A and B are shown apart, each in its own frame.
Chain A
Amino acid sequence: MSSNKKIIRKKDFSLLQRLYLPEIFRGLFTTFLQMFKPKITYQYPEERFHPPASFRGRPVLVEEQGVERCVACGLCSRVCPALAIEVQASETELEKERYPVKFEINMVRCIFCGFCEEVCPEEAIVMSNEFELAFSSQEEAIFGKDKLLTPAEKLKERLEFLKQHR
C-alpha cells in the first residue's frame, strides 16, 4: 500500500438515485442552463485578445530616441536555451560605446522563455505582447533589427511591470 487513504464509495444510494432517471434529468437541466450563459469565445479576426503586461510575447529590442538600448554584451545570446539569438557587436561614438551591428532572433527557434529579458543588464530586450507569428518560409522567420526595434513608449506597460517585479 503506497497510500493509506481509504477510498470512500457511497453505497447507500436512495431509491431515487438508483433509478438514474431523476439524476439524469438534473444533469440535463444543468447543461440546458449552460446554453444561455455568456460565451467566452473571441470572434478572432474582428475581436482580439489583448494580453496583460505579464504576458511573454515575442522578444523585442527597446528603442529610445531612435537608438537601441542594447550594448551588445551578448548575454542574451549566451543564455538562450534554444540558440535563437545572434549578436554582432561594434563600436559607436555614443556614450554607451558599443552597439549591435547585427541582432537576429530566429522566431522558429524562440521558445518564449524570457531568459534574454531576465539576463539583460540594460533592460534592452523585453517580451512584447505580440503573439501572432506566422511565416511562410524559414528565412522570413529570422527577425533582424528592423523588425525587433520597438519604441519604448509602446512597451511602457511591460517595462513598468518589470520594474515592479524585479
Chain B
Amino acid sequence: MIPFWVTLLKIGTVVGVLMTAAALVTFLERRISAFIQNRIGPNRVGPQGIFQILADVVKLVMKEDIVPKAANKTVHDIAPMISISVALCTFAVIPFGNIIELFGYQIKLLVADVNIGILFILAMTSMGVYGVSLAGWSSNNKYSLLGGLRSSAQLISYELAMGLSVIGVLMVAESLRLDQIVLHQTRYLGGWFPAWNMFVQPLGFVIFFVAAFAETNRLPFDLPEAEPELVGGYHTEYSGMKFGLFMFSEYINMITSSALITTLFLGGWHIPFSENWAVSPIALSLLQVLAFCIKVSLVVLFFIIVRWTIPRFRYDQLMNLGWKVLLPLALVNVLGTGLAILLIPYIS
C-alpha cells in the first residue's frame, strides 16, 4: 500500500509543474509569435526575457478587480474558479511515466489511478464549458454572452468527434486506463516499428488533433474569444487575476490536451527501443518522464505555430467541419477499426 504522503507529493509536483509550465507557455507563445512575425518579442526582463512571466503575474495580481454593475456578482466570481479547477483536475489521470521504484515502493507515475481514465477526461473537459458559458452569461454583456454561447455550441459539437475518435484507440488497447493504453503502445509492429497509435490509428489521430484545437479554443477555432467580432469574448468583463485565471486555464488546457494526445497517440512516456538499453531501471524511468515532457512540449509548440499560421474559421464553417466532416470520419474510423480487429486474426 502506497502511503498518503506519496500521493500528496505527486499532487504537489503535478500542480506545481503544470502551473509553471502554463506560465512558461504564455511566454513561449509571445516569443514564438514574435519570431514568426519577424519581431523579437519580450526580451527585457531577465535573460532572454524569461522573467516576463513573473512581471505579468505581479501585474495581474496588483490590478483592480472590476465587476460590472449589472453583472451577477456570485456567478461572475465562480466562473473563473470553475475554469481553473477543471483545467487542473483533468491532468490527474494522465500517466507521465512508467512505474518507478522509490523508497521501496512501486509508485505509478500518475496522480489518480482510476479505471475510467479517458472517460474522466472527457467528462472534465465538458465541465470546462460551464466556466466559459457562465462567465459569458453573468457578465451581462452581449459580446460576452455571444462568446459563451459559441463556446458551448463549439465544445458540444467537437466533443462528439473527439469521443468517437478515442473509441478507435480504446478498441485497440481494450482498456479505458490511460496507463494500459500507453503500455499497449510499447509493442512493435512486425518486431521493429513502434506501435504508437499515431501509426495504428492515423485517421483517429488527425480527428482527435483537430478536435483538440476546438476543445482548447485555440486559433483556427477560437470563436469564443474572436477579438475582431466579440471584443474579448467571454472574458471581456474580467480584469485582474480573474482574467488571469481564465488565461491560465486556457494554457493549462492546452498542455493537458497535448499530454492527452501524447498519451493516446504518441506512445506516452515510451522511448522506442529503450528496452535494450543498459541503464538502471530508475534512470530509465526518469528518462521516460523526460521523453514524455519532450513529446508534450513538441505538441505544444505545434499548437503555437498553428495559431500563428491558420486564420480563424467562420462560425458556419466550424459547424460544417465538425458535423459534416469530422463526425462521419470518426464513425468510419470506428467501423474500420472494428473490421480490422475482426478480420486480422483470420488473415494471419
Contacts and interface: CB of A to CB of B under 8 A. Distances in A.
A41 B40 contact: yes
A35 B309 contact: no
A21 interface: yes
- Residue of A28, A31, A34, A40 with most partner-chain B CB within 10 A: A31
A37 B37 CA distance: 9
Interface residues of A, number: 15
B309 A31 contact: yes
Contact of B305 (A21, A32, A39, A40): A32
A34 B37 contact: yes
Contacts of A43: 40
B36 A35 contact: yes
Contacts, number: 34
A39 B39 CA distance: 5
B283 interface: no
Contacts of A28: 305-306, 309
B323 interface: no
B310 interface: yes
A55 B40 CA distance: 26
A24 interface: yes
A27 interface: yes
A30 B306 CA distance: 11
Interface string A18-49: 00010010011011101101111101000000
A21 B310 contact: no
A32 B32 CA distance: 10
A28 B310 CA distance: 8
A21 to B, nearest CB: 7
A131 to B, nearest CB: 21
Given A34-B35, A35-B32, A21 B206 contact: yes
A132 B39 CA distance: 22
Nearest to B311: A27
Nearest to B44: A43
- Residue of B40, B206, B309, B310 with most partner-chain A CB within 10 A: B309
A31 B305 contact: yes
Interface string B37-80: 11110000000000000000000000000000000000000000
Nearest to B32: A35
Contacts of A40: 38-39
A38 B35 CA distance: 9
Interface in B292-308: 305-306, 308
Given A27-B309, A31-B308, A39 B40 contact: yes
B35 A35 contact: yes
Interface string B87-100: 00000000000000
Interface string B263-290: 0000000000000000000000000000
Given A31-B305, A35-B32, A24 B38 contact: no
A30 B35 CA distance: 12
Nearest to A23: B310
- Residue of A30, A32, A38, A43 with most partner-chain B CB within 10 A: A32
Nearest to A26: B309
Interface in A35-72: 35, 37-41, 43
Given A32-B305, A34-B35, A27 B310 contact: yes
A39 B37 CA distance: 9
Interface in A63-108: none
Contacts of B38: 34, 37-40
Contacts of A39: 35, 38-40
B41 to A, nearest CB: 9
Contacts of B305: 28, 31-32
A28 B305 CA distance: 7
Contact of A41 (B32, B36, B39, B306): B39
Nearest to A32: B305
Interface of B: 32, 35-40, 206, 305-306, 308-310
Closest 7 CB pairs of A and B: A35-B35, A31-B309, A41-B40, A27-B309, A31-B36, A34-B36, A39-B40
6 contacts: A21-B206, A30-B309, A39-B35, A39-B40, A40-B39, A41-B40
Given A27-B310, A34-B38, A37-B38, 15 more contacts: A24-B306, A28-B305, A28-B309, A31-B305, A31-B309, A34-B35, A34-B36, A34-B37, A35-B35, A35-B36, A39-B35, A39-B38, A40-B38, A41-B39, A43-B40
Interface of A: 21, 24, 27-28, 30-32, 34-35, 37-41, 43
